[in-house]
Amino acid sequence: MPKHQRDISNKTKNIVGSPIRKITRLLEEAGEKESIISFGGGAPSLAPPQESMNHLIEKLRKEPQRSVCYNSTPGLLKTREAVTEMLKEEEKIDIDPKEEITLTAGGTQGLYAALQTLINPGQEVMISDPAYVGYPEAIKLAGGKVNRIKTTWQEDFQITPEKINNNITKKTEALILLSPDNPTGRMLTEKNLKGIIEVVEDQDLWLITDDIYKDIVFEDQEFINTRKIGAYENTVTCSSFSKTASVPGMRIGYTYGPKEVIKNMTQLLQYEALCIGRIPQIFLQHFLSEKGKHKRNYIQKEVLPVYKHRKNIMKKVLKEKLPKAGYSEPKGAFYYFLDVSRYLENYKDEEQFSHELYKEAEVVVIPGGYFGEEGKNHVRLTFVSEPEDRIKEGINRISEFLVS
Amino acid sequence: MPKHQRDISNKTKNIVGSPIRKITRLLEEAGEKESIISFGGGAPSLAPPQESMNHLIEKLRKEPQRSVCYNSTPGLLKTREAVTEMLKEEEKIDIDPKEEITLTAGGTQGLYAALQTLINPGQEVMISDPAYVGYPEAIKLAGGKVNRIKTTWQEDFQITPEKINNNITKKTEALILLSPDNPTGRMLTEKNLKGIIEVVEDQDLWLITDDIYKDIVFEDQEFINTRKIGAYENTVTCSSFSKTASVPGMRIGYTYGPKEVIKNMTQLLQYEALCIGRIPQIFLQHFLSEKGKHKRNYIQKEVLPVYKHRKNIMKKVLKEKLPKAGYSEPKGAFYYFLDVSRYLENYKDEEQFSHELYKEAEVVVIPGGYFGEEGKNHVRLTFVSEPEDRIKEGINRISEFLVS
């Protein structure tokens, strides 16, 4: 018998570590230095809803054992029902809590499991360019290939039915839509959404909608569930409460879609994760109770006013201090995606600029190239992670760094 | 262009849902009826350590925001350090907290990610027969094939170096060892462990040790970390605090091994899960503090005396009520794995027997065939899930059911 050659699998060999996660880890290991102003991560900086936290604390005190025992893979039926009632109330759609939904440990786990469930090796998944950094590697881990649809700030980062039709190949199996979008803050127009649904229906593709920013919308915008305007049955929706309830470290999200997809996903999740935590479910059961009263109060009174204010502050300071940066006003989510090409003459690219900026001025921004080719010469700035005075101070530092 | 054929991927099509998880889900949806006596799940029925829960509650009250924010994919460095210090203290091994360990959402996620990282399609992974139900499907999800090593209660379910040598093929890439074992309660002898390490080293295989029951050992047994007796460097160890701290629904575990493996696993986990919860880490930091004093107290004073007592009670009642059942005394873990062939004359198999038993007598036992061919004609009974009186009552009901 020839000598066996032990090795690491090819699955993870070709995967690229998320540069944003690397920054998270560096900042964490640097001990969260006060002087560093971070426009980096996509994390809310607000306290979670106090009443729901109090409810959780009370349950942990009174029923410690019941709070930490196993539960079924799709999550407690009571929690699934709370989520489907929320969907009925807010988005006017009927999802069967027993068969059409599974809870997940955040949106990431839902998207990973959905792609594993839907994509065979060699098939293509369409995403925008720029797009959330998690998509390409999650697609590759399912054996899939990435098909990019170019968008620009001059066109408000819109994905149009025409662009999809032009990019489609016979290997295309799915399209991922993220609206409101990371990194651009773009929301797709109802007209474009309708047209896109017609194309995916005509081409018989899976439509994956990532709704994690659905509650973070500004001004007169309204979040649109694609089921309401197109009723395309082969739609799988991943979402999470990380942004909505400011609890990214609790790890709670959900995925809903056709029964067969959810059944297969749940079987995968059994062996991938067994089940999600009980503690986030206890929190969630309160947060979604009374027909979503607590949730609405929190979003309307605590979250949106602060984020809107910070968005406006950042806009004002950007206009003043970085007038040559190009961007499309964010309609939702957390980010300004700035075209900084007119500031990069002294740098190799936006990555080198970001690196120097961090070293010299202790301001963290994310190089746009991480999000795709079209993101080059851009940087992403989160406007929710720092309070007003530090937003001003951070943009000031960038401006001073550029003239120094 | 020919019409596209949308479909679910083959990855999840061939996966079989865990029958034990199905039972969990049924029991959950049945509303936890008091009259049902469950020897089914592998879940501890003790309250979690009170002081560590109090610490968690205090932190949630004082620092709600810091308790629910993101953390890096391998977990907070402070938590990783707490785990590696525990390993140094208890198992006398040195693991680098920065590069050789990652936290995982329970043992399941660690095993899944390890197999994805180590196994290429078509390669074989050796496991025992009977074996934990999660292994075969996790191996298949990595594209691997299952290679079974037969064990019997008459041989104390030992895996020997000879058996491994006889089963090995040129496609064998890894061996999973679980000791103490589920479903049998068997612990591998030091002699067999030493011999097995020699074989895997000689054949250049990955050795995966699943240490989730390492703290649940009885009588004069001592848990052995394979690194101490063989120092085989290509060993990856998955473990969890689900059993140790009676917190299966918190989802906290860890995997350690060679740097390259942990690096690749962490990259996979970024896109599979992003990060694990902060809340279980806060709990764990207390549980492992003061050089493990709280943990040792909890295990020695609260867990083992109760489990040992329940094990002995079940043994006594089994002897009395089911004298024709064959078994090897469990050395660790939670289970009696009973050869009930002499009670099955009126049944098609042990699965039908278990099903009728549940319907007629409301006692849950797990059919042994779920764990492999060699498990047929056996049933698994958890002795930690019910208190003394209900253990007696449950075995009584089985005995009466058999004569009725």
The answer, yes or no, to whether residue B384 has pLDDT greater than 90, is: yes
Q: Of the candidates B108, B164, B167, which has an alpha carbon nearest to the alpha carbon of residue B138?
A: B108
Pair type for strands B206-210 and A253-256: unpaired
Rounded Cα distance between A37 and A386, Å, is 7
Mean pLDDT within A90-101: 96
Going by pLDDT thresholds of 50, 70 and 90, the confidence category of residue A232 is: confident
Integer Cα distance of B166 and B159 in angstroms: 12
Q: Which two tokens stand for residue A37?
A: 């102003």
Q: How far apart are CA B150 and CA B145, in angstroms?
A: 16
Nearest CA in chain A to B7: A118
Q: How far is B223 from chain A (nearest CA, A)?
A: 25
- Cis ω for the linkage preceding A19 (within 30 of 0): no
Q: Among partner residues B41, B172, B250, which is closest to A279 by beta-carbon distance? A: B250
Chain A residues whose beta carbon lies within 8 Å of the beta carbon of residue B53: 60, 64
pLDDT in tens, B128-141: 999 999 999 999 99
- Find chain B residues with C-beta within 8 A of A10's C-beta: 120
- β-strand partners of B128: B149
**Beta-carbon separation of A1 and B170 below 8 A:** yes
Which residue, B236, B398, B231, B243, is CA-closest to B314?
B398
Q: Which of B270, B276, B286 to mutate to probe the A interface, most A CBs <10 Å? A: B270
CB A213 within 8 A of CB A182: yes
Q: Are A24 and B138 inside 8 Å of each other by CB?
A: no
Whether B27 has a pLDDT exceeding 90, the answer reads: no
Do the strands A101-104 and A253-256 form a parallel or antiparallel pair, or are they unpaired?
antiparallel
Which residue bears the tokens 């350690």? B256
Cα-Cα-Cα-Cα dihedral sign, residues A323, A328, A332, A334: negative
Q: Show Cβ contacts of residue B140 under 8 Å, excluding neighbours closer than 6 positions.
A: B14, B15, B146
**Phi and psi dihedrals of B32, rounded to 5?**
55, 60
For A224-247, what is the mean pLDDT?
94
Is the pLDDT at A18 greater than 90? The verdict is no
Q: Do A272 and B108 touch (CB under 8 A)?
A: yes
Q: Using an 8 Å Cβ cutoff, are A101 and A80 in contact?
A: yes
Chain B residues touching A247 at Cβ < 8 A? 68
Task: Give pLDDT, residue B30.
Answer: 61
Nearest CA in chain A to B206: A6
What is the tens place of the pLDDT at every residue in B285-301? 999 999 899 999 999 99
CB contact under 8 A, B9 and A274: no
Closest CA–CA distance from residue A308 to any residue of chain B (Å): 20
Hey, are the CB atoms on A273 and B105 less than 8 Å from each other? Answer: yes
The three-class DSSP label of residue B138 is helix
Q: State the average pLDDT over residues B78-93.
A: 96
The minimum CA-CA distance between A2 and chain B, rounded to whole Å, is 8
Instruction: Convert the pLDDT of each residue in A21-80 to its tens digit.
Output: 777 766 766 656 789 999 988 777 899 999 999 999 999 999 999 999 988 999 999 999
> To the nearest whole percent, how much of chain B has pLDDT over 70?
97
Domain A10-48+295-403 is found in CATH 3.90.1150.10: yes
Q: What gap in Å lies between CA B321 and CA B300, rounded to an integer?
A: 31
Residue B262 has pLDDT above 90, yes or no: yes
Burial of B98 per CB tally in 10 Å (0-12, 13-18, 19+): middle
Q: How many Cα atoms within 13 Å fall on the side-chain side of residue A398?
A: 30
Q: How far does A274 lie from chain B, in Å, by closest CA?
A: 6
Q: Is A252 helix (H, G, I), strand (E, B) or coil?
A: coil
Cβ-Cβ contacts under 8 Å, B203 against chain A: 4
Neighboring chain A residues of B60 at a CB cutoff of 8 Å: 53, 56-57, 60
- Strand residues in B144-300 grouped as ranges (E): 145-150, 172-178, 206-210, 235-240, 253-256
Give the per-residue pLDDT at B14.
Answer: 82
Task: Provide ipTM, 2 decimals.
Answer: 0.94
Q: What is the pLDDT of residue B6?
A: 86
For A268, A339, B26, B336, the CA distances from B31, given in Å and listed in that order, are: 25, 56, 9, 27
DSSP letter for A332, please. Answer: B
Q: Residues A338, A354: contact at Cβ < 8 Å?
A: no
Nearest by CB to A108, from B206, B261, B274: name it.
B274
Q: Which residues fall within 8 angstroms of residue A48, CB to CB, at 6 or more apart?
A: A245, A246, A247, A283, B64, B65, B68
Question: Which of B204, B205, B279 is the closest to A250 by Cβ?
Answer: B279
> B354: number of CA atoms within 13 Å, CB side?
25
Q: How many CB atoms lie within 10 A of CB A348?
A: 9
Alpha-carbon distance A246 to B70, whole Å?
10
Judge whether B332 and B213 are in contact, CB under 8 Å.
yes
User: Do B38 and A206 form a contact (C-beta atoms < 8 A)?
Assistant: no
**Contact, A122 vs A152, CB < 8 A?**
no
B397 backbone dihedrals φ, ψ, rounded to 5°:
-60, -40
Residue to test with chain A: of B96, B118, B200, B274, most A Cβ within 10 A: B274
> B300-319: per-residue pLDDT in tens?
999 999 999 999 999 999 99
CA atoms within 13 A of residue B172's CA, in its CB half-sphere: 28
Q: How many interchain CB pairs under 8 A, A with B?
A: 275
Helix axes B106-118, B259-272, angle to 10 degrees: 110
Nearest to A77 among B29, B43, B266 (CB): B29
Using alpha carbons, list the distances in angstroms from residue A295 to A108, A242, A277.
22, 13, 20
Q: For residue A159, which of A205, A207, A185, A127 has the smallest C-alpha distance?
A: A127
For residue B300, what is the DSSP state? Answer: I
Chain B residues lying within 8 Å of A144, measured CB to CB: none
Q: Give me the residue from B16, B17, B271 closest to A138, CB to CB.
A: B271
The model's pLDDT over B176-228, given as tens digits with 9 standing for 90+, comes to: 999 999 999 999 999 999 999 999 999 999 999 999 999 999 988 899 999 98
Q: Report the distance separating Cα B273 and Cα A105, nearest Å.
A: 7
Nearest CB partner across the interface for B205, out of A4, A71, A112: A4
Inter-residue contact A227 to A256 (CB < 8 Å): no
Q: What is the pLDDT of residues A336-371, one digit of tens each?
A: 999 999 999 999 999 999 999 999 999 999 999 999
In the CATH scheme, what architecture does the domain A50-291 have? 3-Layer(aba) Sandwich (3.40)
pLDDT over 60 (residue B171): yes
The predicted model gives B318-344 an average pLDDT of: 97
Interchain pair B117, A11: CB under 8 A: yes
Show me where the domains of chain B are located.
10-48+295-403, 51-291
Q: In a mutagenesis test of the B interface, which of A9, A271, A278, A281 is the best target, namely the one with the most B β-carbons within 10 Å?
A: A271
> CA of B393, closest CA in chain A: separation in Å?
23
The rounded distance, in Å, linking the Cα atoms of A343 and B239 is: 50
Contact across the interface for A270 and B21, Cβ inside 8 Å: yes
pLDDT of residue A31: 58
CATH classification of B51-291, choosing from 3.90.1010.10, 3.60.110.10, 3.50.50.60, 3.40.640.10? Answer: 3.40.640.10
Q: What is the pLDDT of residue A47?
A: 95
Q: Can the peptide bond before residue B367 be classed as cis, meaning omega within 30 degrees of 0?
A: no
pLDDT at res. B32: 67
Rounded CA separation B16/A400 (Å): 60
A12:B267 CB<8 A: yes
**What is the C-alpha to C-alpha distance for residues A114 and A262, in angstroms, rounded to an integer?**
8
Looking at the predicted structure, is the pLDDT value of residue A107 above 80? yes
Contact B251 A275 (CB under 8 A): yes
Report which DSSP code applies to B274: S
List the B235-240 sheet strands across, edge first. Answer: B101-104, B253-256, B235-240, B206-210, B172-178, B124-129, B145-150
Distances, alpha carbon B103 to alpha carbons A399, B135, B254, in Å: 40, 20, 4
Residues A127, A163: Cα–Cα separation, whole Å = 11
Residue of A nearest to B264 (CA): A12
Do strands A206-210 and B363-364 pair parallel, antiparallel, or not at all (unpaired)?
Answer: unpaired
Least confident of A81-95, A219-233, B113-127, B243-257: A219-233
pLDDT at residue B24 greater than cutoff 80: no
Tokens 């690194």 correspond to: B227
Over chain A, what is the mean pLDDT? 94
Cβ(A308)–Cβ(A331) below 8 Å? no
Q: Which tens digit of pLDDT belongs to each residue from A265-303?
A: 999 999 999 999 999 999 999 999 998 999 999 999 999
CA B310 to each of CA B44, B183, B185, B306, B313: distance values in angstroms, whole numbers, following the listed order: 12, 17, 14, 6, 5
pLDDT at B31 over 80: no
Please give the full DSSP string across A183-242, using - where no structure is assigned.
Answer: TT-----HHHHHHHHHHHHHTT-EEEEE-TTTT-B-TT-----HHHHT--SSEEEEEEST
Which pLDDT does position B294 carry in this prediction? 96
- Spatial separation of the C-alpha atoms in residues B149 and B127, rounded to whole Å: 6
Q: For residues A222 and A233, give the distance between their C-alpha atoms in angstroms, rounded to a whole number.
A: 22
Residue carrying structure tokens 């004069």: B220
**Helix (H) / strand (E) containing A37:** strand A37-38
pLDDT at B41: 81
A70 CB neighbours in chain B (<8 A) are 24, 41, 43, 248-249
CA distance B28 to chain A (A): 7
Compare CB distances from A277 to B116, B206, B277 and report the shortest one's residue.
Answer: B277
**Helix and strand totals (H; E) in chain A:** 16, 12
Tokens 């803050």, located at residue: A185
